[in-house]
A and B are shown apart, each in its own frame.
Chain A
Amino acid sequence: MTLPHPLLKLDQVRRHRAGRPAVERLSLTLDRGQILGLLGVNGAGKSTTLAMIAGALKPDEGRIELDGQDFATHPALARGLLGWLPERAPHWPELTVLEHLQAHARLRGLRAGGLKQACESTIERLELAPLLRRLAGVLSQGQRQRLGLACALLHKPRLLVLDEPANALDPVQVAALRKVIREEAAAGAAVILSTHLLAETTAVCDRVAILHEGRLRHDAALDGDHAALEHTFFEIAMNGKDQAA
């Protein structure tokens, strides 16, 4: 059975930031169970794209559909459907890890037993038990990334948006992150993650999109050929630089 619409659809999305085009006429779709890696050099428009998908930024033009509905007219769709880990995992420094999880669960509409269960399972899954009473402000960057990921996963979203999720994680934590991403996709969630690390993309993604200067330059399934992806990426990145010069 084919579903009538993709879980996420971007249609001719444009966005300016700081007076210059950050994302230009971007169109892409993402289906349930897919893991899309969004690649690009710094300033390519990855974080802006993800912030728009997460509902934190409004496109200047174009349309974003979540589960077939226009996100601009149904912003509350984000509540149960979407989990977002922004770059650098922002947090409230005066709250503990447990208070963060509880606050995020409440913001996502979880209550009483559901909230407790969601927190407990996420704590166990991301091995946050030793950190529960610690203030978020004193966590290391890697621990904050794990906390941010936990907050994004708490309510079992159907679309997981991860901005540089492997930042500051050690190799063991990176392996755990990859496992979580694969489990989410296996459970039917769509995952979109941005990174500038090619190895990260080839390790977990089944599709890759390359952004350069706000434009989508490449969108194809990954065949596991790391060298071919590297060649494509550098060609786009270097050509873009040549054109800009």
Chain B
Amino acid sequence: MILRAAGLLVRLRAQRLYNLLSVGRRRKAAGVRSGTARRVGWMLPAVVVVVNLLGAVMLSWTSIQHARVRLDGFTRHHAVVTSLPLGEAVETEVMLLVALACGVALLMSLGTRELANPDWDMEWLATLPLPLSQLLGVRLCERVLLNPVGLITLWPLLSVSAFYQGARWLSPVAGLLVTLPLLMLVGTLHLLADTGLRLRLTPPRLRNLQAVCGLAGLVGLYLMLSAGQSQSSLVHDWAAALPAWFRWLPPGLAVRALTPQDLPVVLLSLLALYGMAALFALSGLLLLRWLLRDGLLTAGARESSRSAPRPAARGRRGPRRLVTALQARELKLLARDHAFLVQTLVLPVVILGAQFFFNMRVVSDLSDPRHLGAVAFAVMAYAMLFSTFQTLAAEGHALWLLFTFPRPLDSLLREKARLWSVVSLVFPAAVFAVGLSFADKPGWHTAAAAALVVAAVPIFATIGTCLGVLGWDPLALDQRRRVRPGWAWLYMLLASMFTYALYARSWWTSAVLVTLTAALALSLWQRVRDRLPYLLDAGASPPARVSLSDGMLAALLFFVLQAALVAILLEALGSEAELGRVMLLAYALAGALTFGILRTAFALRRTGEVPRYSGGEGRPLVTGLLLGAAGALVSAGWVTGMRRFGFFQAELDASVTALHFAPVSMALLAVLAAPVFEEFLFRGLVFGGLRRSQGFVSAALTSSAIFAVVHPPPSLVPVFLLGMLAAVARERTGTLLAPVLVHAGFNAASVAAQLLA
């Protein structure tokens, strides 16, 4: 009976873990009424497990190998020879790592959401026909066998250690054999802590504790990583200072049980290890029974959590005009909910601090203003992933309240985003303060980096809020997982693109990137406002159509890809004479890549009204050729005018020189590649997206302005005019063919005018 119960419980838990990993996005198909999630199959969980295990194996491998080089005096070559057993110092270090892994496994288990879940599944299990002591035993069994963090940290480490000691293909079995008793210890402690804490602490306190445990576990994990990756880690110092009796504690015994050369030691260690684990588990169970002598009375019951009324709180007046009621509430939550506080304010600091701690090189790099700006921006952007990105998700079950207020939802979102941008400024400020204390003399480069980061704050607060809303899935099973991970990745992708603005060589590039990103933020905001009425709607959503945000995303992607490809190709080919060809190649590749990514995304989302090159009404060919002639006049006139009146002479000369270097490829680029890709982006997506919600004139003006700004300054005016002509062509024919012809005419005339003169 008890075995069957244990089996069932373990199966239930495994099923839950599997579901957590394998349940993907909700299906958009018709007929789905409630939160039905679609399984993505067993592939994803399998991949996750395999990747994690492999990573752990690699880490253990390098940790032990490094330790052998450092402590046993092997060369790198000899360190991998597994027939040479580990020296005692290395063994001690592995023991410490095992102990750390046990700690991490315990802390991470306590740091899961389960601890803070107000519904305690023990209360439910207790209704099953099983005596309490058996129930506890079953529970322990389940905790031992299904501790994913424990298995992934301990098993590979001990197996690799066994392999080094010469256990060969038996290593995984030997590793598992000693992992189990260790997991038993961890499981007992977990069960004791879990149960004991629930009896003493209220759910809010438990959540705070959960946050602290998770954080401590993360620090432990970092320590383990540092032992494998760097030559000087705290772990090494600690291992050297361990007392002899540590070898007799369970982690020490586990490692010593893996020396196949010395059978008596193996048997003795195994016996001691299993004995200790069994004794510990038994006494733990007895203690638990004693703890639960009054039944499963949790501290979450209302009576015990009631605090004394605080009459002083009433009618209290503070300096409140500074923040709105909504912002005040948000700050109050931040101060009280430590899980939230840790995620938004502490974790970014810990991650950054860990980098400093384990990798001192970063500090010296910070004297470069560009690195300083990048670090400041990265920390801020990361922090926003937990604040602005969660504006809706953080409302949780209480979201309905926002719908009862006499204010449009978007104004509430804006208020929250504003608050978080101010809060997020803390990070760049701190990073710059640290960086400046290292810098010799801050110049205007530092000021420019700081200005860029400050400009990024509102932009990324908006982008974060928007992507958080767009990626929000109100039907996800778990409140805190409601933001789909893909959108978080998109956010991080955009953030990493923005760092390019910090590293760009010319201020013009930075300015363009900032402008484009700002325009993207605004276009995303437009889309959010489209989406808000459908927020809680399971069945309906605004139809997927090409919108401005697609165009802005594409333009940004194109811009960054192109710059990156030029840099990569120049590095690879390394010849200035090839510049023309490099430009052409980079341009064509970036265009093709952007085009491919966009078309794939449209196809996957089944977006309607994707711009096409064919079809159309009227006579696209005639319209295109006529307006193309007008475009040719504009560009030829502009080049002639530049030459006649001598403005932007240096730029013109450079362009002419480049043309002469590689006339054929430059002409191909200008007359063929550029029109085809740029028209898809700017007339197809940007103009088309704008046109959806605007009149022709404003859509044409705005799209032409964006089009002009991504071109070099000397051609600002004619390119703007080209944008207008192409917009007219697109508006009249509804196909991309006409604007492509206009663009080709314009560029052809420009190339001819430059070459012929």
Binding between chains A and B: no
Listed in ascending order, the chain B residues whose CB lies under 8 Å from chain A are none
